[in-house]
Amino acid sequence: MNIAISGSTGFIGTHLSRMLRNQGHTVIPVGRRNFNSGTRHLSTLVDGCDAVINLAGAPINRRWTSGYKRTLIASRVETTRMLVDAISQTSKRPKTFISTSGMGAFTSDGRYTERDVANAADFLGELSFDWESAAWEAETLGMRVVVFRLSLVLGADGGLMKQVLLPFRLGLGGPVASGEQHFSWIHVDDLVNAYLMALDNRNCKGIYHLAAPNPVNNLAFTRILGKVLNRPTPLRVPTALLKVMYGEGAEAMTSGQCIVSERLAETGFKFRYPNLDGAIRAIVKASAGNRSLIDLIDSRG
């Protein structure tokens, strides 16, 4: 298949693009320059593709100034609208559109599946609603539309784990705020396999939660990572510090959501990493290639 991917150079996009190419597919990267060139240019890129996968989105873990909020909206909602508009102008229209959303669609006080109605009314809730609404417009073009709501994606070379592995190896890790906030997660290998499944399974349409079947809380994540690394985890990250660093964005770190998937299991999908302990052990093993500082730390006990 010929598959156009926005955000193909990011953490998730890199893993997905590599796997697709390994399977013999052709990946057409759609980057920031392509969006800046306008809808007509985008249309030439996606014309004749079998599928379009939308992974574009600026990182959430930044300080949420009013300007950065506009960036979060533009990089998610506006890029999705541009992609759908570009697809509408193609002469040979792609059959499948797979887009992305997040856990922010829900509040932090429940356990939510795809059959629950999104209920968050804060900035992330509105962002998720608008992001998904933009993707659903592709249905009016006769396309099969899949929206994946992502949990925290774990892998050795990007996302959360890339940020925390070194501090935890140094014995400087600890829970965030109370540590009681939900921690829904998925290993990047399982996430990539879910995208592959959605490309191949024509019956796959609608919303799916990409989250492992056994969510934990932040304190459990901290304890498991410390145990696997054989390091203490004494340093709690206080809420006050997060607010100084991230402003309103600190809320996303201190009040996680619990999402699980019912619909993914109904497709027959099997998780390679259903439990966090196994996922973290695999990630720590995969990260062992960068050993210069780590060897020094380990040699000193």
Digit-coded pLDDT (tens) for 138-178: 999 999 999 999 999 999 999 999 999 999 999 999 999 99
Q: What is the pTM of this model?
A: 0.93
Q: So what's the pLDDT on residue 151? A: 97
* Overall average pLDDT of the 110-137 stretch: 96
Q: So what's the pLDDT on residue 292? A: 43
* Overall average pLDDT of the 102-131 stretch: 95
Q: So what's the pLDDT on residue 251? A: 86
- Residue 290's pLDDT band (cuts 50, 70, 90): low
Task: Give residue 103's identity as a one-letter amino acid code.
Answer: M
Are the beta carbons of 47 and 224 closer than 8 angstroms?
no
* Overall average pLDDT of the 119-125 stretch: 94
* Overall average pLDDT of the 204-229 stretch: 97
- 172-209 pLDDT, tens digit per residue, is 999 999 999 999 999 999 999 999 999 999 999 999 99
- Residue 299's pLDDT band (cuts 50, 70, 90): very low
Task: Give residue 298's identity as a one-letter amino acid code.
Answer: D
Lowest mean pLDDT among 46-55, 63-72, 286-295: 286-295
Q: Is 145 exposed, middle or buried (CB count within 10 Å of its CB: 0-12, 13-18, 19+)? A: buried
**Superfamily holding 2-288:** NAD(P)-binding Rossmann-like Domain (3.40.50.720)
Q: So what's the pLDDT on residue 72? A: 97
Q: So what's the pLDDT on residue 288? A: 79
* Overall average pLDDT of the 121-146 stretch: 97
- Residue 119's pLDDT band (cuts 50, 70, 90): very high
* Overall average pLDDT of the 267-295 stretch: 84
Q: So what's the pLDDT on residue 289? A: 62
| Residue keyed to tokens 């989105």 | 57
| Dihedral pair phi/psi, residue 132, rounded to 5° | -70, -40
Lowest mean pLDDT among 91-100, 157-166, 213-222: 157-166
The candidate with the shortest Cα–Cα distance to 48, out of 81, 1, 13, is: 1
- 22-66 pLDDT, tens digit per residue, is 999 999 999 999 999 999 999 999 999 999 999 999 999 899 999
Rounded to the nearest angstrom, the gap between the alpha carbon of residue 273 and the centroid of all alpha carbons in its chain is 16
Task: Give first-to-last CA distance, the chain, whole Å.
Answer: 50
Q: So what's the pLDDT on residue 297? A: 45
Q: How far apart, in whole angstroms, are the C-alpha atoms of residue 193 and residue 187?
A: 10
In the chain, % of residues over pLDDT 70: 96
Q: So what's the pLDDT on residue 212? A: 98
Q: Where are the domains of the chain?
A: 2-288
Q: So what's the pLDDT on residue 274? A: 98
Mean pLDDT of the chain: 93
The candidate with the shortest Cα–Cα distance to 114, out of 205, 215, 217, 13, is: 205
| Dihedral pair phi/psi, residue 117, rounded to 5° | -80, 130
* Overall average pLDDT of the 265-287 stretch: 96
| Residue keyed to tokens 């002469």 | 91
